Structure 1
């Protein structure tokens, strides 16, 4: 009987996710609440739902916490799910500075403090990986498990070689003149990322593109985005100093890469900084794992977080 109930629940979930995937909905279910958390010199927009062990979902550039709707919806069945927008992005405030990732680790800590959460699993993508790594390095006792998805971490492993990839020219693109060039053309600029970093660009839907382009056109949003990249040099210095002191992440780490993007390179990178690294690949996906193959991403992440402790 229990097996039947599990099968029925899984079937219902698959149907729900399939519908969400088809529509690429970016709206959270009514069970989620929204709040603004003042912390660390800024204000972070946070979504929350569910009860049970806590999990924090951190987005990357070109998206916001809205990217996590399918995963957050599934996890909220038996977790307390916390989904912030990173400093300066989405619906969070747009401060002038503080974008180095060790400082943003303080943003995450402040959000958890406000929600009275001592420890959480952390799932991250893109620049969210860098914030998650800093948070795990700075507050290791507060991270149960860590998932990093399809983006390198400054100063860790082959970082200098990765920087030579011409596709990553945007890491050095920023400053007042660049902001003027992009102003009013945010959609054109972001389309470049959504197209070139996808295995199948059509899977990043038109409604999703419109949604994110509108958020990145908010006053201060592109400045914040450029500032996230501009902080990479400091992030690399901070992470190398942490590693040079003999530190390693000790919590279990799942390193996922898109099959048509970082793939197993993610695990190779993380083995330079963590002692317990599992590897995984999101099949048929480029960089935008929640748009290109959300079903596989949800299955891989929930399977790892659900392992016996």
Structure 2
């Protein structure tokens, strides 16, 4: 009888991690904050040095619950949903990351926060970079996790990667194709960009698929990607004025960007620290939230 390797058995029968809660601790409040052309859904809790957690595509600010539960002990934690996603409004435009950086500024202004640390993932990296480039005095530290930044480093080579087909997928016909099939579309990302897809739990998939099925949400998601060309133009203009000076932590999932995240960010910042989330692909908060949380807390301290 042929024996099946233990490692293969483990991958075939891997149990999902404990289902992630999407409920923020009771000390968090939610509010809708007006920016230029959008209304941003924001969760805020705690006191102390401010830290803003910025999500990416395929998720919402709900992804940060485990990290927020830890950081709220000694930080003012601010968690927005990007415009067009989650419970934020779904405007017709403004999905270039320079404009969305203005959304973050509007949130901080409303909360009367002068300076914050930024922790971002996926498309959140792009918004966070645009914010740091425009408002460097308002960013104490910047952590970017597992996604490239348009126009920075080998961006043109990144665009050629067949795994990133979705960067050029969009438009009204595509919206009609995925209408009512949001879960099927999103499963591709959750499966293909995970080291262990089972760790992106079924309750999490149902939760995010329902949010992306809200009217206008998939249109907004496609618009996030369609803005990449403009984002690259804007970011090259930012970079022409100089690199970021604040401390930057570049984090990659071990089975995803890994140390390449730091390679990318060294094109854009002078003070870059490298970190890798072990035993994780792209979805760091689902695949290894404990290690991700330790890495971010160490950087913030």
TM-score per shorter chain, which class?
Answer: over 0.9
Matched, 1:186 2:177: no
1:134-283 matches, within 5 Å, as 134-245=130-241, 247-283=242-278
Name the counterpart of 1:12. none
Aligned residues: 285
Cα distance in 1 for residues equivalent to 2:220 and 2:37: 15
Name the counterpart of 2:96. 100
Cα distance in 2 for residues equivalent to 1:200 and 1:298: 19
Name the counterpart of 2:4. none
Q: Does structure 1 retain, via aligned residues, the 8 Å contact 2:19–2:204? A: no
Name the counterpart of 2:41. 45
Unaligned runs of 5+ in 2: 1-16
Name the counterpart of 1:124. 120
Cα distance in 2 for residues equivalent to 1:26 and 1:50: 18
Match of 2:105 among 96, 102, 109: 109
Name the counterpart of 2:7. none
- Post-superposition shift, 1:31? 1.2
Give the 3-state SS of the residue equivalent to 2:51 in structure 1. Answer: strand
Cα distance in 2 for residues equivalent to 1:111 and 1:241: 25
Give the 3-state SS of the residue equivalent to 2:23 in structure 1. Answer: coil
Give the 3-state SS of the residue equivalent to 1:45 in structure 2. Answer: strand
1:119-153 superposed Cα distances (whole Å, 9 cap, x missing partner): 00000000000000000000000000000000000
Cα distance in 2 for residues equivalent to 1:244 and 1:58: 25
1:2-33 superposed Cα distances (whole Å, 9 cap, x missing partner): xxxxxxxxxxxxxxxxxxx6231111111110
1:20-65 superposed Cα distances (whole Å, 9 cap, x missing partner): x623111111111000001111100000000000000000000000
- Post-superposition shift, 1:244? 2.3
Q: What's the TM-score, normalizing by structure 2?
A: 0.94
- Post-superposition shift, 1:225? 0.2
RMSD: 0.6
Name the counterpart of 2:9. none
Cα distance in 2 for residues equivalent to 1:131 and 1:28: 23
Match of 2:62 among 60, 63, 66: 66
Name the counterpart of 1:287. 282
Cα distance in 1 for residues equivalent to 2:75 and 2:237: 34
Cα distance in 1 for residues equivalent to 2:286 and 2:22: 11
Unaligned runs of 5+ in 1: 1-20
Q: Does structure 1 retain, via aligned residues, the 8 Å contact 2:151–2:235? A: yes
Cα distance in 2 for residues equivalent to 1:156 and 1:147: 16
Give the 3-state SS of the residue equivalent to 2:187 in structure 1. Answer: helix
1:279-300 superposed Cα distances (whole Å, 9 cap, x missing partner): 0000000000000000000000
Q: What's the TM-score, normalizing by structure 1?
A: 0.92
Q: Which runs of 4+ in 1 moved over 4 A?
A: none
Cα distance in 1 for residues equivalent to 2:186 and 2:296: 27
